[in-house]
């Protein structure tokens, strides 16, 4: 392993994989159980990056379903159970992920996942997608007492992966990922094909890519800056 290479920390939903179809289907299944029609896809997809519980609460509000904390807790259990059963029905890795990870791994980089998805679901999904073994750490919303955009979620993920906090790069798709990296004083690469409500180009990431074919060059550029 090349010691000066960074640990690359990936978000999951909207960054490594297009998970929205199965997440939205789960939200709509919960709404259907309450006798409500599904949310339009264009509205629901904007909620995906908020995390499952916040997504459920926002979806209930959008569907004009009254709820209190107790009802939300019960529906959240239902949401998680349904999602676990259908976690990879339609979810797919974004084009170029495998080739990009191969090339970066061959060049000495190590990988981790830092996501606001529940840890159990993160492990399960990455296993079903065939890439779980590539990551030295997979840390979800419930792994630590902190979660993104708290920088400790990112820095503790790096620690768990055996990396160095001064030599790591975040890769994500939303303001949450960019804020997390900024709060941890780390560079961040944004993908422009995820679930951000705001165009990520307007959020001033250190690098922006349109396809995983471009990730290697962006990583090398930022890694060299970290070494200088």
> What pLDDT, in 10s, does the model give residues 138-153?
999 999 999 999 999 9
> Would residue 1 count as lying in a domain?
no
**70/124 same-domain check:** no
Residue among 39, 43, 18 at smallest CA distance from 30: 39
Reduce the DSSP state of residue 165 to 3 states and report it: coil
* Digit-coded pLDDT (tens) for 39-68: 877 667 767 767 788 889 988 998 899 999
Contact 192, 201 (CB under 8 A): yes
Q: Which of 85, 108, 130 lies at the terminal end of a domain, its last residue?
A: 85
Let me know: does 149 contact 180? Beta carbons within 8 Å: yes
Active site residues: 11
Residue 72: inside a domain, yes or no?
A: yes
Domain count, the chain: 2
SS3 state of residue 183: helix
**2 within domain boundaries:** no
Q: pTM of the predicted model, to two decimals?
A: 0.93
Is pLDDT at 79 greater than 90 in this prediction? yes
Integer Cα distance of 73 and 78 in angstroms? 9
């Amino acid at each position: 392993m090349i010691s000066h290479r960074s640990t690359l920390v990936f978000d999951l939903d909207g960054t490594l994989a297009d998970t929205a179809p199965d997440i939205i289907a789960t939200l709509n299944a919960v709404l259907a159980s309450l006798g409500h029609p599904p949310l339009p896809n264009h509205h629901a997809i904007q909620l995906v990056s908020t995390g499952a519980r916040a997504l459920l609460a926002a979806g209930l509000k959008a569907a004009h379903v009254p709820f209190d904390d107790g009802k939300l807790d019960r529906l959240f259990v239902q949401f998680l159970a349904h999602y676990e059963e259908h976690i990879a029905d339609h979810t797919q890795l974004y084009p170029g992920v495998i080739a990009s990870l191969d090339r970066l791994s061959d060049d000495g980089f190590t990988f981790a996942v830092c996501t606001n998805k529940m840890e159990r679901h993160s492990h399960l999904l990455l296993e079903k997608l065939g890439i779980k073994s590539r990551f030295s750490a997979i840390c979800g919303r419930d792994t630590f007492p902190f979660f993104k955009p708290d920088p400790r979620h990112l820095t503790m993920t790096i620690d768990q992966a055996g990396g160095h906090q001064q030599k790591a790069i975040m890769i994500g798709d939303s303001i949450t990922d960019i804020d997390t990296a900024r709060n941890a004083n780390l560079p961040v690469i944004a993908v422009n094909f995820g679930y951000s409500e705001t165009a990520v180009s307007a959020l001033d990431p250190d690098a922006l890519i349109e396809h995983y074919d471009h990730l290697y060059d962006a990583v090398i550029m930022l890694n060299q800056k970290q070494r200088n």
